[in-house]
């Protein structure tokens, strides 16, 4: 459970609170619940596919196998965009408490880390760096626990004094929906369980995904419920690092802890996804594109995104990339279920999820800072 949970509770935790609070006001918990529900439904499609692979292997038809290949390519591309997302947050948090806290220096730091990752991956691989992941997961979850305790105390103080606030939403209607589409990546990561077949059987992987989504939903809902009703709108300045300013009002130590957690978590997540994308692209091209060449491609795309888009735009790009992957997984589940005489309704449900994924790809938007 820890592996998919660490993927879900990651970068999204750093940016979701201020984004939802600013855009949706008192309705932020409802939007958070909707994001978690959509993620859980896509998780259901992937869990169905895990069972189907265990039962039928590759004997599910040529069309399904073709979709699996396209889905793998889309996941490889989604990893590339997500690395840009992670490292741009790394850059923003890295300069946030310094005298050079501005977009240019944040992008320079991001570019330097891209260079380090490329050099290490090209020359030596990532085995040494991947050892960081176990430490950073523990550190990240511990700091998140401390943040929630601090928020709970702060919330209690506001509530007992009758000072809770219920700010109106800035976005309503279709713009509110398209922004939510652009935030899917913040609850992404549950699909990790599907790719642990070398170590765990299908029953364990399905259970790990389900539990990870339940626990992450509980954490996110508690977080947003505590955050949404204690800050006035003028206290929330929307930026990549807005959570630091908010937490400084809760407890002086929290900003420093958050930056430490952000740097460790973003770097390890970027290393993991870089390694994953390199291995996946190499496998899909039958080693015609080596992992080292894939790392170079990832770095080039990442640098282009870094210098041509802001973090919120990259979040939107990453959301659409993962939404396309989820749409393909839902389509695969629909085709598989349709072949079963007693699963026509389930096939239609999965088909509707695939259509929702395409809508997210087409209409997902970034929030305007």
Domains plus CATH for the chain? 2-55+63-363 (1.20.1740.10)
Confidence (pTM): 0.88
Within 10 A of 300 (CB to CB), how many other CB atoms are there? 13
Distances (CA, A) of 324 to 62, 241, 331, 332: 20, 28, 10, 12
Q: Write out 285-329 in H/E/C secondary structure.
A: CCCCCCHHHHHHHHHHHHHHHHHHCCHHHHHHHHHHHHHHHHHHH
> Residue 340: helix, strand or coil by DSSP?
coil
Q: What is the pLDDT along the chain (369 residues), one digit of tens a residue?
A: 877 887 788 777 778 888 898 889 899 999 999 999 999 999 999 999 988 877 766 666 788 888 888 988 888 888 888 888 888 988 988 888 888 888 899 999 999 989 888 887 777 666 655 555 566 677 777 888 888 888 899 899 889 988 888 888 888 899 999 999 988 988 888 888 887 777 788 889 899 999 999 999 999 999 999 988 988 877 777 777 778 888 888 888 888 888 887 787 787 777 777 877 777 888 788 878 888 888 888 899 999 999 998 888 888 888 898 999 999 999 999 999 888 888 889 999 999 999 999 999 999 887 765
Structure confidence at residue 283 (pLDDT):
78
């Amino acid at each position: 459970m820890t592996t998919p949970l660490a993927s879900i509770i990651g970068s999204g935790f750093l940016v979701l609170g201020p984004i939802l609070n600013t855009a949706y006001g008192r309705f932020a918990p409802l939007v958070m619940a909707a994001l978690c529900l959509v993620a859980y439904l896509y998780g259901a499609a992937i869990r169905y596919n895990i069972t189907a692979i265990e039962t039928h292997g590759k004997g599910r038809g040529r069309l399904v196998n073709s979709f699996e290949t396209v889905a793998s390519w889309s996941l490889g591309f989604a990893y590339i965009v997500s690395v840009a997302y992670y490292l741009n947050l790394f850059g923003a948090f890295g300069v946030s408490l310094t005298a050079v806290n501005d977009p240019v220096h944040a992008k320079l730091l991001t570019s330097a880390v891209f260079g380090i990752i490329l050099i290490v991956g090209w020359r030596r691989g990532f085995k040494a760096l991947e050892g960081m992941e176990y430490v950073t997961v523990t550190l990240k979850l511990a700091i998140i626990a401390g943040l929630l305790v601090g928020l709970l105390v702060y919330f209690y103080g506001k509530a007992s004094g009758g000072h809770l606030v219920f700010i109106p939403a800035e976005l309503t209607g279709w713009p509110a929906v398209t922004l939510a589409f652009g935030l899917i990546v913040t609850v992404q990561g549950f699909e990790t369980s599907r790719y642990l077949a070398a170590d765990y059987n299908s029953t364990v992987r399905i259970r790990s995904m389900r539990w990870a989504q339940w626990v992450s939903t509980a954490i996110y809902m508690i977080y947003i419920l505590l955050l949404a009703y204690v800050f006035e709108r003028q206290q929330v300045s929307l930026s990549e690092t807005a959570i630091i300013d908010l937490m400084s009002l809760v407890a002086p130590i929290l900003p420093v802890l958050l930056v430490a957690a952000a740097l460790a978590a973003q770097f390890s997540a970027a290393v993991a996804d870089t390694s994953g994308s390199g291995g996946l692209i190499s496998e899909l091209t039958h080693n015609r594109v080596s992992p080292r060449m894939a790392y170079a491609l990832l770095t080039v795309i990442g640098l282009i995104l870094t210098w041509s888009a802001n973090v919120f735009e990259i979040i939107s790009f990453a959301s659409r990339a993962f939404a396309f992957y989820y749409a393909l997984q839902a389509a695969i589940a629909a085709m598989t279920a349709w072949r079963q005489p007693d699963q026509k309704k389930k096939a239609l449900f999965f088909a509707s999820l695939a259509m929702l994924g395409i809508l997210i790809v087409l209409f997902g938007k970034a929030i305007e800072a």
